[in-house]
A and B are shown apart, each in its own frame.
Chain A
Amino acid sequence: MPSQHRLTVRGTPVELQSGGSGPALLFLHGAGGAGRWLPFHDQLARRFTVYFPKHPGHGGAPAAEWIEHISDLAFHYLDLLDELKLGRVHLAGSSLGGWIAAEMATMVSHRLKSLALIAPVGIKVDGWIYPFLFAMELPQLVATVFHDQAKALALAPGDLTGIDTLAELYRERAALARVSWNPYLYNPLLRRRLGRITAPTLLCWGEHDQVSPLVCAEAWAKEIPGAELRTFAASGHLPHLEEPEAVAAAVADFCGAREVAR
């Protein structure tokens, strides 16, 4: 079981879970994933000390009004690494979290032992426009994000009749919209910067991803020098949730190998 921490990073309150032992691995969640320590994280925690913060405004964490661009989140997590006195780390992220991780990697690649991006959004891909999830009612959202819709239960919010729960969900959507509404789910500057990433990079992708489909994976693989792409046959946009053992093994093996190599 992970331990819970509350700290302040350059004036911004952070809610953080951490667990496991071994080299430090920072995991950045996607929308709806805040604070949800999953079997995926358990499995990673067998080989790494997993640090799992909530993005400000997500999962009931207090909002940070100063965060208005995706790079603000990237700097926020660089500050968190300093606050935790972590030097070089393994960095992993899913979807929005993968986008933030990629932004960080373009800034401080030398600080990363490895980078694992699980179906990140964040770049413009010719021939693809991300479906506008903000406009979707729950059934359509679930059908778009998941391959096996039953798996969505793992992310179901608690008491949907409670004012506090609804206000927290509204806060999370606002925090998400602040950085991603327009341009929707990407930073026009990121793609041409991906070539700066020197950290060994693993891309994990669900073969049935309808948010950021395989055509996006190919673009990422093309832009990040030497990136390795692994696909997962029974997953949609969240393979670490739909196939936790396989994805955790892929990430742990990839990151672990970079640990030994040094």
Chain B
Amino acid sequence: MKFYYFHLMPYPMEHDAPSSWVTLSNRHYDPEVGHALYNQYLDQFEHAERLGWDGLCVNEHHQNCYGTMPSPNLMAAMLARRTTRAKIAILGNGLPLRENPLRIAEEIAMLDVVSGGRIISGFVRGIGPEYFSTAVNPTHSRERFYEAAELIVRAWTEPGPFAFDGRFYRYPFVNPWPRPLQKPHPPIWCPSQGSSETVEWAAQRRIPYLMVFTPIKRIAQIYGEYREACERYGYQASRYQLTVNLPIVVAENDEKARTIARQTALWVYHTGLRMPLTFWLPPGYLTESSFRRSLAVPRKLPTELSFEDLEEGGYIICGSPATVRDKLRVFSDELSAGIVCSGLPAGSHAATLDMMEMFAQEVMPHFREDAGVDETAGIGR
């Protein structure tokens, strides 16, 4: 199994406002604190490479305290020069949020060339509140996503210049310099929460499907749908197409791990992801049939999940190294997930570095049957 170190780069604060997104005033953001946080977070990424993590994951979110990376490509750029081995997975750029998605093709190509071909390029739609923050019409989200993805892949692979004339994006000349280093292009990943339209889109293109912050039962179900779709397209899904993103907290014993996770993982769900339903579900973001399906299987909002829900539902993993190993076995053996993207919310910077070391020494080595395998070979393109 491959391990990718995932970071939200949160601005961890407590507040009583109804939303941590869009409307939480940025007067709460102290740039002095932010300076320290950003640099600690980047140190953690560099530490992760030294400790043996296979990849480093950054991601895009806007106007919130949950994750302060409005430009994941900037963070990837810093990592490209400060690391030498690990993949740099951008999970991802919010394609529909851009007015000029050709810029994404250009930036990813730059990063790929500078990093020596270590870039993984996630394509996402962005979550509901992003449509309030960017004012992009959410009823265009899906179509803009497909159109931008097509544009970017063509810009990477077809010799330019050529003209592109879409419904939302139109260019008389598509001819980006540089071209990416990886052939035919950097692997694409599709981080998502399981809408059937997206599963289909990813499976058809051999694009790894990353389940983000989802209970394990639903992961199993969506992986099943994804595998089935791959078979319909005439191939077997590789385990490196089945990826998962979940927070892991490891400590000397289960009790201590729970105490930490209760603080840190619960902050992500109860504070970081706190927002009203209107932000989660902007109009037209889901198709009407997806909307109906989401109502038919009632799910709790993040803020409605108790710690027990998170632990028992498999939204998070926490425990002693032995417990964490057992729980990860379920992902590696039963779900055949090939890549785990995980943040280690430990609290302070020092505690995070300690937790990373414990994970690298006492968990990771037990899952290295595939050492030497390039998880990106032939996948996501």
Contact = CB atoms under 8 A, between A and B. Distances in A.
B143 to A, nearest CB: 11
A137 B139 CA distance: 20
B138 A177 contact: yes
A137 B19 CA distance: 12
B159 interface: no
B291 A167 contact: yes
Interface string B282-319: 11101010011001100000000000000000000000
B139 A163 contact: no
B137 A163 contact: no
B132 A135 contact: yes
A170 B290 CA distance: 11
B278 interface: yes
Nearest to B285: A174
A176 B295 contact: no
A181 B282 CA distance: 10
B169 interface: no
B136 interface: yes
A182 interface: yes
A211 to B, nearest CB: 17
Contact of A134 (B283, B286, B288, B292): B283
Given A135-B132, A173-B283, A177-B138, A167 B288 contact: yes
Contact of B283 (A167, A177, A182): A177
Contact of B278 (A137, A167, A174): A137
A181 B279 contact: no
Contacts of A171: 288
B137 A167 contact: no
Nearest to A168: B288
B19 to A, nearest CB: 9
Choose among A63, A137, A177, A184 the residue with the greatest number of B CB atoms under 10 Å from its CB: A177
A7 interface: no
- The listed residue with most B CB atoms (<10 A of its CB), out of A132, A134, A174, is A174
B373 interface: no
Contacts of A63: 288
A63 B22 CA distance: 29
Nearest to A161: B295
B276 interface: yes
Contacts of A177: 137-139, 282-284
B283 A135 contact: no
B135 A182 contact: yes
A177 B135 CA distance: 11
A181 B138 contact: yes
Interface string A122-163: 000000000010111100000000000000000000000001
A181 B85 CA distance: 44
A233 interface: no
A35 B301 CA distance: 33
Interface in B259-280: 276, 278-279
B136 A182 contact: yes
A72 to B, nearest CB: 13
A135 B22 contact: yes
Nearest to B286: A170
Given A135-B22, A174-B283, A174-B284, A181 B292 contact: no
Interface of B: 22-23, 132, 135-139, 276, 278-279, 281-284, 286, 288, 291-292, 295-296
Interface of A: 63, 132, 134-137, 163, 166-167, 170-171, 173-174, 176-178, 181-182, 184
Given A135-B279, A178-B284, 5 more contacts: A134-B132, A135-B278, A163-B295, A166-B295, A182-B136
9 contacts: A134-B278, A135-B22, A135-B23, A135-B278, A163-B292, A166-B291, A171-B288, A173-B283, A181-B135
Give 3 nearest A-B pairs by CB, closest first: A174-B284, A173-B283, A177-B283
